[in-house]
Structure 1
Amino acid sequence: MQVSIETTTGLERRMTIGVPAAEVENAVAARLNEAAKTVKINGFRKGKIPLKVIKNRFGKGVRQEVLGEIMSRSYYAAVTEQKLKPAGQPKIEPKSLDEGKDIEFIATFEVYPEVSLSDFSNVKAEKLVAEVTDKDIDTMIENLRQQRQEWEPVKRQAKNDDMVNIDYEGTIEGEAFAGGSGSDTNLVLGSGRMIEGFEAGLVKSKAGDEVTLELTFPEEYRNKDLAGKPVVFNIKVNSVSAPKLPALDDEFFAAFGVTEGGEAGFRKEVAANMERELKKASKNRLRTNVMDVLLEQNEVDVPSALVAAEIDVLRQQALQQFGAGAQNLDPSLLPDDLFREQAEKRVKLGLILGEVIKQKGLRADAAKVREAIEDIAATYETPEEVINYYYSNKDQLDTVESAVLEDQVFDLIAEEAQIKERKVSYQELTNPKQAAEEDADKEAGKSKTSKTAAKKPAAKKPAAKKAADAEKAPAAKKPAAKKPAAKKPAKKAD
């Protein structure tokens, strides 16, 4: 076998491989001889068919099959011989495949880059720390109550945070339009679900009222056919309901797995859950900060084949978010460019972390793997069953080991890095997006108040909006709730 290699651009390699004709012809002959023992052809006894007949009937197909196998085998032998590490599958182009002559083909592929790691002591990162205060616990308990609120019909006029049940029909220039009508529709006033003016126009309405609203679709409305157009909505209010929060009693506490200690015990459990969430959020934020600095300080060429593979993974994850209907979605609706930046970042980070693992000779710590699995199992009624499942399922175990190994890499880098702590609120650490929005609202309120003197105070954020945001907060999950024994132990508990 003859091999020659040239570098085309960056990580791409072009390898020309030559294989002696005798190797090919011998392989073809051997395959035909084997076929002669088993094939059936009318007019000949099995095993007595002349080789010439076998070759005339099957020779072309057998040769193509053998050529494919030899080119594949020769390619892998060549990259091993040349000590290359291909990233992704090669593109094989036959150059000369004539019968009786040496074959030659070209394999074009990318190789993994050489990664030179920067000095971790130059990594400067910020670690956010916070405390769980009594006020934070009060807020969390209120969020949990709002998640389990019920609706109670009332006979008074509707106000923000109430839910109205309505029938409505929208018309543009007297004509109904697609998606512009609905019946028996529940709508929480102040939720921002409808276009501007719709919900505000139903404030002070009551059951049985008929309301006409003359509005205009926003210029940036998602349906371009309706954007900027005036619309008339004729609305019938069927009912008005007010939110009813559950009482802080034993029944409520038991719904979250707390059956002893009353309100004090519940607060203690909520606080412990928030502390765990706080610790996790602090580490995750620091990890993100450190990884971003690593990406800045370590230049790495990224193989396009690995990026393409990562794009496919991200696309599939995005499709899965659409649920069962995703099976019928055309993947091309989500173009590569939508995921390219994130894919390149993930591949680059993976290469950097992989180099750290190789240089430091790291392996997943068995004790930490066990601890991670036990943490998962602790949220199930039958923890031992879950633990056994993970240790008997290689894919699941590999996933945990990879996560633990990544944690070990992070801990190693963090030990050498320059880490400074900054104290923030619980909300800012666990839900930075909501905290930023609330800060922006405060600033907007200050600005408005300063311009209008003391005419009216800054508007408060609707309680319904607060509840919706609170549901997004990780710490709003059930504290220490135990799920019933799962049919599939590997399914993670909430």
Structure 2
Amino acid sequence: MKKSNYILASVLAAALMLTGCGGENDKKPQNTGNENSADAVLDFNAEEYVKLGDYKGLEVTYPSVQQVTDEDVEQYIQGQLADNTEFKEVDRASKEGDTVNIDYTGTIGGEEFEGGSDTEYDLELGSQDFLPEFEESLVGKKAGETAVFTLTFPSEDYDESVAGQEAEFTVKVNSVSEAVTPEYNVDFVKSISEYETLEDYEASIKEELIASYEEESETEKGEHALRLVAEQAEVNGYPQELYDFFYEDNVAGYKAFAEMQGMEYEEFLETFMSEEDIIEVVKEQVNEHLISQAILQKEGIEITDEEYAEAGKELALTEGYGSLEEYEGDYGKTYITTQLVREKAIDILKESANLQEVPWDEYDDYGEELESE
């Protein structure tokens, strides 16, 4: 059946922890519908919960702007080709690289086991989404054929409930589809962009990548500064309303992610991260907001209605929305306010920080220079 998701879960949990600490977040926050009032959630004195350490004159490192190479441009192009790949059902035996739609049932000792069965599952042969022996057993099969085979689960880095055990699988192939990848040429470029030549298209890719790397470098200045403040701060307790907001927001986002992946939320919890992991992420977010708010209070700064309207509109445009109202409809006023508080706190930290640029390839994810090997 499926490979162990241990490493994948660890990577996702780490990524979510970082986004929970305010990094670039690909998980779109959801308006949970519990926005009675942003004031109700954010009406507290942060200094009752936070004791700040030094937050001015911090020694902050950040990565230099990464150079864009021909390989970077080629990788981007290959991604575009993959995104525009179509799958065509074929009447032949399957081969590596094909996608088979399957119904499968797995048993251990004659009994079905949790996570060992599914229907209408699309599996790319050779993707290693499942154990190699599982995928290899389906190579050469046609639609309508059934494969019966046994395999032994790995003993290490695998679900303890099945690790080291032999399982029998019965797999029916419903269909076989081959990938049809478009050719990279002028016609393809015209179909996905406004450019008429390969040269102009590739130049635009390079410009886009440069802008992205510049943004990453600039963003990390604030991210590192905020991490340093969080390391020195003492946080004791939190307003329950604030915790509830971040918890509901995260759960809504994870449910949306699960739906996008075609899985139930319970399966997401089993595969990627547990309820305990989510609680840890939420507490990180709560602590970060309390620290950001404490900085603003220390500086005598508030997010007024006028500033919310102005900065919120700018944030909405940055996120690709036509208006603040549209942005609020997806994210909610509370979420937007927390982002404005965070941005304002980061601006304060960067203004007084001692900034040191580090070559991008010597910089790790936590704002420290890598040790020379």
TM-score by length of 2: 0.63
Is structure 2 residue 87 aligned with structure 1 residue 163? no
Shift of 1:414: 1.8
Shift of 1:146: 0.7
Counterpart residue number, 2:34: none
Matched residue type, 1:188: E
Counterpart residue number, 1:217: 153
Counterpart residue number, 1:411: 347
Task: Please list the CA deviations of residues 374-424 of structure 1 after superposition, one character each: whole Å capped at 9, or x if unmatched.
Answer: 334xx46xx4xx257569x9x967755653453233133123222222233
Alpha-carbon distance change, 345 to 232 in structure 1, aligned in 2, over 3 angstroms: closer
Matched residue type, 1:300: E
Matched residue type, 2:298: Q
Superposition RMSD in Å: 4.4
Say which of 211, 214, 221 aligns to 1:279: 214
Is structure 2 residue 281 aligned with structure 1 residue 375? no
Say which of 351, 374, 381 aligns to 2:290: 351
> Distance in 1 between the 2:291 and 2:117 partners?
54
Alpha-carbon distance change, 388 to 150 in structure 1, aligned in 2, over 3 angstroms: closer
> Distance in 2 between the 1:275 and 1:124 partners?
23
Shift of 1:165: 4.0
Shift of 1:227: 4.5
CA contact (8 A) 1:123 1:294 kept: no
Say which of 260, 263, 268 aligns to 2:198: 263
Question: Which SS does the other structure have where 2:80 is aligned?
Answer: helix
Counterpart residue number, 1:133: 69
> Distance in 2 between the 1:87 and 1:221 partners?
45
> Distance in 2 between the 1:337 and 1:373 partners?
32
Is structure 2 residue 142 aligned with structure 1 residue 207? yes
CA contact (8 A) 2:243 2:286 kept: no
Say which of 214, 219, 223 aligns to 1:288: 223
Alpha-carbon distance change, 159 to 422 in structure 1, aligned in 2, over 3 angstroms: farther
Shift of 1:246: 1.7
> Distance in 2 between the 1:277 and 1:338 partners?
30
The answer for unaligned runs of 5 or more in structure 2 is 1-42, 366-373
- Higher RCO (Cα < 8 Å, 6 or more apart): 2
> Distance in 1 between the 2:94 and 2:274 partners?
45
Matched residue type, 2:294: E
Alpha-carbon distance change, 160 to 418 in structure 1, aligned in 2, over 3 angstroms: farther
Shift of 1:215: 0.5
Shift of 1:163: 1.9
> Distance in 2 between the 1:340 and 1:207 partners?
46
Shift of 1:335: 9.0
Matched residue type, 1:207: K
Say which of 180, 188, 195 aligns to 2:131: 195
Aligned residues: 306
Shift of 1:139: 0.4
> Distance in 2 between the 1:247 and 1:309 partners?
53
Counterpart residue number, 1:460: none
Is structure 2 residue 223 aligned with structure 1 residue 300? no
The equivalences for 1:139-150 within 5 A come to 139-150=75-86
CA contact (8 A) 1:362 1:405 kept: no
Shift of 1:140: 0.9
Question: Which SS does the other structure have where 1:421 is aligned?
Answer: strand
> Distance in 2 between the 1:305 and 1:319 partners?
19
> Percent sequence identity over matched residues?
22
CA contact (8 A) 1:163 1:186 kept: yes
Matched residue type, 2:234: V
Say which of 251, 264, 288 aligns to 1:319: 251
> Distance in 2 between the 1:404 and 1:246 partners?
43
Alpha-carbon distance change, 166 to 419 in structure 1, aligned in 2, over 3 angstroms: same
Alpha-carbon distance change, 216 to 362 in structure 1, aligned in 2, over 3 angstroms: same
Alpha-carbon distance change, 350 to 305 in structure 1, aligned in 2, over 3 angstroms: closer
Question: Which SS does the other structure have where 1:280 is aligned?
Answer: helix
The equivalences for 1:11-30 within 5 A come to none
Alpha-carbon distance change, 147 to 414 in structure 1, aligned in 2, over 3 angstroms: same
Which stretch shows the higher mean deviation, 320-329 or 184-193?
A: 320-329
Task: Please list the CA deviations of residues 443-488 of structure 1 after superposition, one character each: whole Å capped at 9, or x if unmatched.
Answer: xxxxxxxxxxxxxxxxxxxxxxxxxxxxxxxxxxxxxxxxxxxxxx
Alpha-carbon distance change, 214 to 292 in structure 1, aligned in 2, over 3 angstroms: same
CA contact (8 A) 1:160 1:189 kept: yes
> Distance in 2 between the 1:175 and 1:317 partners?
39
Matched residue type, 1:313: F
Question: Which SS does the other structure have where 1:120 is aligned?
Answer: coil
Which stretch shows the higher mean deviation, 169-178 or 115-124?
A: 169-178
CA contact (8 A) 2:50 2:291 kept: no
Question: Which SS does the other structure have where 2:137 is aligned?
Answer: helix
Counterpart residue number, 1:123: 59
Counterpart residue number, 1:248: 184
Shift of 1:305: 4.2
Matched residue type, 2:296: I
Question: Which SS does the other structure have where 2:285 is aligned?
Answer: helix
> Distance in 1 between the 2:311 and 2:215 partners?
16
> Distance in 1 between the 2:130 and 2:327 partners?
46
The answer for unaligned runs of 5 or more in structure 1 is 1-85, 89-109, 433-494
